[in-house]
Amino acid sequence: MKLIKWSSIIFAVLTLIITVVFFGWWMFKDSLVFGSEKFDQVKWMQHAPNLQNECKRGDMAYDLQKNILVRGLKREAVTSMLGRPAYEEGNAMSYDLGKCMHVYHGLLVYFDADNRLINSRISSH
């Protein structure tokens, strides 16, 4: 009976530790995977991703998302800075980042009815 009680406690503690580690990683994954380089417009334009080009744009995505794509920025300013999006529908645009950590990623940019930036996020697809 004591063995079952101790194994239940150990299982609960391990489950808690694994959960905390997972959600900690999940919160900081963008900065860990995409946070290594400052945004450089020339590099961004030169490294349009394709199947042969790994995560060249992805290295700049976190800095771009957190420091440059500020809420309220005009759509024209975003397209002037980042170039033509890979996909555009309504008030959303997507820029390919390439294959980062064995998964293809994109930078999604959303605008309001006045074509002002409301949100951006890194997604996998």
What are the φ/ψ torsions at residue 111 (nearest 5 degrees)?
Answer: -125, 155
Specify if 45 maps to a domain: yes
Specify if 59 maps to a domain: yes
CATH number where 109 lies? 3.30.1450.10
Looking at residue 65, what DSSP letter applies?
I
Q: Is the pTM of this model over 0.75?
A: no
- Mean pLDDT, consecutive 10-residue segments, the chain of 125 residues? 79 86 67 72 78 71 89 95 92 88 86 96 83
pLDDT of residue 72: 95
Q: Count CB-CB contacts under 10 A for residue 11.
A: 10
Specify if 19 maps to a domain: no
Residue with tokens 């440059």: 68
Specify if 23 maps to a domain: no
Q: What total number of domains does the chain contain?
A: 1
Specify if 63 maps to a domain: yes
Q: Does residue 120 contact residue 69 with C-beta atoms inside 8 Å?
A: yes
Specify if 10 maps to a domain: no
Task: Give the domain extent around 63.
Answer: 35-124
Q: Does residue 87 contact residue 97 with C-beta atoms inside 8 Å?
A: no
Positive/negative CA dihedral, 93, 87, 78, 76: negative
pLDDT of residue 116: 97
